[in-house]
Amino acid sequence: MNKFNSLDKLYLEQRKIAHEICRLFNKSPSKGNLKRIKGLFFHSGESVIIEAGFHCDYGSQIHIGDRTFININCTVLDAPISEGTINIGSDCLIGPNVQLLAVSHAVNSTERLNKENFTAPIIIGNNVWIGAGVIVLAGITIGDNAVVGAGSVVTKNVTANTVVVGNPAVKIKDI
């Protein structure tokens, strides 16, 4: 994991801009406001659908492939540095109330006083289905065609062509 200080003046300003764009989209999810949301991203593929309730901190390191659907109330805690990348493949289904958390804090209480954030990328392969209420933690890779069951907390990498469920998410079968 890498560090960055989210209280840095530049990062505070970037977050303020991204939050305002998200707020406008969530208040009025028009095509114009969706275009503004996608404009935050490093890349947004063709025919990406994002439902209202979307929230991200910066957007600049978010990559989304073609034909991906992001349902209501998705929270993406991304970072403004490349180590905080969120990469979502093509043809993915992201359920309602999913949280993609590429940013975290130190466990050690003394380190936490510095208010620095730790970040590691989240990589989601192609044709992945992430069920409602799933939480994906920093540094996780979810392989192609995988399914993450509703309410799961993904703390370890998910192999391609598998179904995982639970807290913490564990493999229940191959597909």
What is the C-alpha separation between 16 and 50, in angstroms, rounded?
A: 20
Query: Across the chain, where does the E strand assignment appear?
Result: 2-4, 43-44, 49-50, 55-56, 62-64, 69-70, 75-77, 86-88, 93-94, 99-101, 103-104, 117-119, 122-124, 129-130, 135-137, 141-142, 147-148, 153-154, 162-165, 170-174
CA–CA gap between residue 75 and residue 99 (Å, rounded): 5
Which of 109, 106, 60 has its CA nearest to residue 85?
60
- Bridge partner residues of 144 (DSSP): none
Residue reference for tokens 């992945």:
128
Q: What is the rounded CA–CA span in Å between residue 123 and residue 95?
A: 16
Which residue among 19, 43, 63, 105 is the active-site one? 105
Task: Say whether 105 is catalytic.
Answer: yes
Active-site amino acid positions: 105
